[in-house]
Structure 1
Amino acid sequence: MQQADIHAAAQTLLSRRLNNRMTGPLKAECRPNSVSDGLAIQHRLLELMTQQGNPVGGWKCALPIAVDGLTDVPVVAPIFSDSIYTTSPCPIIADEGWCKIEPEIAFCFAQDLPHRPTPYTEQEIVAALSGAHLALEFILSRYLQPDSVSFIEHLADCLFNQGLFIGPEISLEQAFQASTIELTLTTASTPEVQHFAGKHPCAEPLLPLFWLVNFLRQQGIDIKAGQQVITSSYAGVIEIAPGDYFTLSYEDLGEISLAFTQD
Structure 2
Amino acid sequence: MTELSAARENVLFRTADFLLDHRRTGEPVADIPEELLPLSEQEAFFVQDTMMRAYDEIGGWKIGARSPDGTPFFAPMPAQWMGANGTLFRGPMHRLHGVEAEIAFQLKSDLPKRSEPYTRDEVLSAIGSCHSAIEVIESALLEPLSAPRESMMADMQMHGGFVAGPAIPNWQDIDWQKEGVHLMVDGSVRVENVASNPGGTDFLRLLTYLANEGSHRTGGLRAEQWITTGSWTGVTWATPSAQVSVEFDHAGSVSLQFAAQPF
TM range (shorter): 0.7 to 0.9
- The whole-number CA distance in structure 1 between the counterparts of 2:255 and 2:218 is 38
**What are the equivalent positions in structure 2 for 1:18-37 lying under 5 Å apart?**
18-37=24-43
**What are the equivalent positions in structure 2 for 1:111-126 lying under 5 Å apart?**
111-126=109-124
The alpha-carbon distance between structure 1 residues 145 and 249, as it changes in their structure 2 partners (threshold 3 A), is closer
Q: Deviations over 1:79-102 (max 9, x none)?
A: 11111110434115242xxx3211
- The whole-number CA distance in structure 1 between the counterparts of 2:184 and 2:9 is 48
The alpha-carbon distance between structure 1 residues 125 and 35, as it changes in their structure 2 partners (threshold 3 A), is same
Q: Which runs of 5+ in 2 are unaligned?
A: 1-6
Q: Does the residue aligned with 1:33 lie in a helix, a strand or coil?
A: coil
- The whole-number CA distance in structure 2 between the counterparts of 1:222 and 1:10 is 23
The alpha-carbon distance between structure 1 residues 7 and 177, as it changes in their structure 2 partners (threshold 3 A), is same
**What are the equivalent positions in structure 2 for 1:238-249 lying under 5 Å apart?**
238-249=236-247
Q: Which runs of 5+ in 1 are unaligned?
A: 66-71
- The whole-number CA distance in structure 1 between the counterparts of 2:41 and 2:183 is 37
Aligned to 1:197: 193
Q: CA deviation at 1:57?
A: 0.4
Give the count of matched residue pairs: 248
- The whole-number CA distance in structure 1 between the counterparts of 2:255 and 2:150 is 34
- Aligned amino acid, residue 99 of structure 2: I
The alpha-carbon distance between structure 1 residues 2 and 251, as it changes in their structure 2 partners (threshold 3 A), is same
Q: CA deviation at 1:259?
A: 2.5
Comparing 1-10 with 161-170, greater Cα deviation is found at 1-10
Provide the TM-score with structure 2 as the length reference.
Answer: 0.83
**What are the equivalent positions in structure 2 for 1:22-171 lying under 5 Å apart?**
22-50=28-56, 55-63=57-65, 74-92=72-90, 93-95=94-96, 99-171=97-169
Q: Cα RMSD over matched residues? A: 2.5
Q: Does the residue aligned with 2:215 lie in a helix, a strand or coil?
A: helix
- Aligned amino acid, residue 219 of structure 2: I
- Aligned amino acid, residue 144 of structure 1: L
The alpha-carbon distance between structure 1 residues 206 and 21, as it changes in their structure 2 partners (threshold 3 A), is farther
Counterpart contact for 1:181–1:234, Cα < 8 Å: no
Q: Percent identity?
A: 25
Q: CA deviation at 1:174?
A: 4.0
Q: Deviations over 1:91-141 (max 9, x none)?
A: 15242xxx3211111100111212122211111111111111110001123
